[in-house]
A and B are shown apart, each in its own frame.
Chain A
Amino acid sequence: MWRYVRRRLVLAVLTFWAVSTIVWGLLYLTGDPVAILLAGTPAGQTDVEQLRHALGFDRPLPIQYLHFLSAAVQGDLGNSLRSGEPALLLVSRRVGFTVQLALLAMTLALVVSIPVGIVSAMFRGSLTDRTLMLLSMVGQSMPIFWVGLLMIAVFAVELRWFPAGGAGGIKYLFLPAATLALYPMARIARLVRSSLLDVLNRDYILAARARGLREALVVGKHALKNAALPVITIVALQFGYMLGGAVITETIFGWPGVGLFTVTAIHERDFPVVQAAVVLASGMFIALNFLVDLLYGWLDPRIRFS
């Protein structure tokens, strides 16, 4: 097990390094990083050269990279072009909002999807099953921004149950969380169903029944634990996307998380902030995947002991 943990940890660190490098390379995509940074500002030639020198862009590329790396290791991803504050610090202040939103959304998604998936699998082919699966197919097909707009139109404008946007108490959190939850909810419900059906066809389920186990034990213990493995992967993936990619939901509802902050930064062409946001989100994502690997090792003895 320890060997497995170590290997996963090394992989996570390497991945994080690779992601940071890609984000660093973003500015060089069009050739001249300074031009990107100054785009939209009426800067003269001397300003450009000054900035190039001040930011070190006139040094050889490998040196620039090493400089970036050594700074990044110390948590320095540059300063915001607007406020001059450290970009990473600015972004981190917004993480709390995003985590709140993601946690509530994932809770909502799981509370609905897992029972739905189980019921569908147990009553496979029934009217209930077909209705639930059709609904989840529709849920999976609705683009999130339209869902958000519908939520606002119905629950904020028409019914006036919840505010249409902004931040505050749980009231403000509910609509964005429900919006964000819809896709994973539908996706996970379908996955729980198919994964459970797959497991129910396995020999060990037949063998468990042949041993005279109660159906509740066969399904509730053997089938569910085995079916959980693929579900956990998708749950983690979706949660990771929420942490980093709740961009659209946050934009629609004006929820001040990392996503909205990033979009604002893009419109303001504040690139260090955008970079910091991508690095931070990827970091959370990678850390989450690492935790899932540990969870896998704990759930599946074949990984733990091999």
Chain B
Amino acid sequence: MTDLVVVEELCTYFQVRGPTGRRAVLHAVDNVSFVVRRNEILALVGESGCGKSTLARTILQLQKRTSGRVLFDGQDLTALAAGELRRLRRRMQVIFQHPHGSLDPRVSIGQAIRDPMDIHAVGTMDERQSRVEELLGLVGLHPDHAQRFPHQISGGQAQRVAIARALALHPDFIIADEPVSSLDVSIQAQILNLLADLRASLGLTYLFIAHNLAVVEHFSSRVAVMYLGRIVELAISDELYARPLHPYTQALLASAPVADPDAPARPPAYIGDVPNPLEPPPGCRFESRCPMAMDICRQVDPVLTEVEPEHWVACHLYPILQRSST
């Protein structure tokens, strides 16, 4: 089996309520299906509020799903008993965006890295201790850092600690939720390189969540583009960047700044602001901003279809094209 994680028709809805007491349902993750293959880096791209972080939390069972399944190495996480799920958690880990926010300010660096082993009672005291030292080395920190507290280290170092903690139990799968977005450029590269090296040496699989398209292009093997709780396009990274099919993906790419003064100036894609996620339109979610919207887009919600091998897109433009060409 090459699929490590299988997400099937996953939905996460929130009951929200304003201060005035009006109830509404937020479709944060809406009928999402995809697989993460062993040893790949699947990137999840989207703008703020598209549901990518909620999706990550739901996969990890940190957030209750509304419906759907998540299979990890063949086991349905949503159906597991609490104890079994806890045991399985050793194999999947998470790294967050804010390096300092992901460390308990009152726990020393050494203890933070040791905590996973304490929680799962792995090894003897001495073994845990030497593992802490090993992990510090693995992420490029000095053994002396173990005695420090989070406020005594920099953001880049804190992110290394968070990575070391995630690796403590030899996981197979790591969800990295915007792991470099709050770091400075020069530190970003260090962390991205570290993550790449660790994947190669430890055989890890990543679900990499990001909004920076340049970072994603550099770092991922496949890319899924999310919009308002849905995956609208999923393809191999090179293919997606070379030939984006969904109008939203095209607009995103057109909007990304190109770090080249000689590149021809492009007019930005005027696609307006993201509509209110509380009232998704009945048809395609992107219809209100789409330059190519057709009648059918207002009425029928497009499904994610494999229009070419390994290239999935949820857009009415493509099945039509295919039909007319065949």
To the question of whether A and B form a pair in one complex, the answer is: yes
Chain A residues within 8 Å of B, Cβ to Cβ: 3-4, 7, 303, 306
A222 to chain B, nearest CB (A): 23
Binds A, one of B19-27, B65-73, B218-226, B254-262: B19-27
Chain A residues within 8 Å of B19, by CB: 4, 303, 306
Chain B residues within 8 Å of A3, by CB: 20-22
Which 9 A-B residue pairs are closest in the complex by CB-CB distance? A3-B20, A4-B20, A7-B21, A306-B18, A306-B19, A303-B19, A306-B20, A7-B20, A3-B22
B11 to chain A, nearest CB (A): 26
Interface residues of B in 18-43 (CB under 8 A from A): 18-22
Q: Is the interface of B mostly helix, strand, loop or mixed?
A: loop
Chain A residues within 8 Å of B18, by CB: 306
Chain A residues within 8 Å of B22, by CB: 3
Report Cα–Cα, A206/B21, bound state, in Å.
Answer: 34
User: Closest residue to A7 on the B side, CB-wise?
Assistant: B21
* 9 extra A-B contacts, CB within 8 A, seeds A3-B20, A4-B21, A303-B19: A3-B21, A3-B22, A4-B19, A4-B20, A7-B20, A7-B21, A306-B18, A306-B19, A306-B20
How many cross-chain pairs have Cβ atoms below 8 Å apart between A and B?
12
Report Cα–Cα, A306/B19, bound state, in Å.
Answer: 7
Most chain A beta-carbon neighbours within 10 Å: one of B18, B19, B20: B20
User: Closest residue to A10 on the B side, CB-wise?
Assistant: B21
User: Closest residue to B22 on the A side, CB-wise?
Assistant: A3
Report Cα–Cα, A248/B100, bound state, in Å.
Answer: 51
Report Cα–Cα, A303/B18, bound state, in Å.
Answer: 9
Report Cα–Cα, A20/B19, bound state, in Å.
Answer: 27
Taken residue by residue from 3 to 27, chain B's Cβ proximity to chain A (1 for < 8 Å, 0 otherwise) reads as 0000000000000001111100000
12 contacts between A and B (CB under 8 A): A3-B20, A3-B21, A3-B22, A4-B19, A4-B20, A4-B21, A7-B20, A7-B21, A303-B19, A306-B18, A306-B19, A306-B20
Chain B residues within 8 Å of A303, by CB: 19
Chain B residues within 8 Å of A7, by CB: 20-21
Report Cα–Cα, A169/B190, bound state, in Å.
Answer: 79
A212 to chain B, nearest CB (A): 30
Report Cα–Cα, A7/B20, bound state, in Å.
Answer: 7
Chain A residues within 8 Å of B20, by CB: 3-4, 7, 306
Report Cα–Cα, A306/B21, bound state, in Å.
Answer: 9
Chain A residues within 8 Å of B21, by CB: 3-4, 7
Report Cα–Cα, A3/B21, bound state, in Å.
Answer: 8
A25 to chain B, nearest CB (A): 29
Report Cα–Cα, A306/B278, bound state, in Å.
Answer: 14
Report Cα–Cα, A263/B21, bound state, in Å.
Answer: 41
User: Closest residue to B21 on the A side, CB-wise?
Assistant: A7
B149 to chain A, nearest CB (A): 27
User: Closest residue to B19 on the A side, CB-wise?
Assistant: A306
Report Cα–Cα, A227/B320, bound state, in Å.
Answer: 59
B106 to chain A, nearest CB (A): 26
Report Cα–Cα, A94/B27, bound state, in Å.
Answer: 56
Report Cα–Cα, A4/B18, bound state, in Å.
Answer: 10
A304 to chain B, nearest CB (A): 9
Report Cα–Cα, A303/B20, bound state, in Å.
Answer: 8
User: Closest residue to B18 on the A side, CB-wise?
Assistant: A306
A13 to chain B, nearest CB (A): 15
Chain B residues within 8 Å of A306, by CB: 18-20
B19 to chain A, nearest CB (A): 5
B107 to chain A, nearest CB (A): 30
Report Cα–Cα, A4/B20, bound state, in Å.
Answer: 5
Report Cα–Cα, A7/B19, bound state, in Å.
Answer: 9
B219 to chain A, nearest CB (A): 33
Report Cα–Cα, A7/B18, bound state, in Å.
Answer: 11
B42 to chain A, nearest CB (A): 37
A292 to chain B, nearest CB (A): 15
User: Closest residue to A302 on the B side, CB-wise?
Assistant: B19
B226 to chain A, nearest CB (A): 27
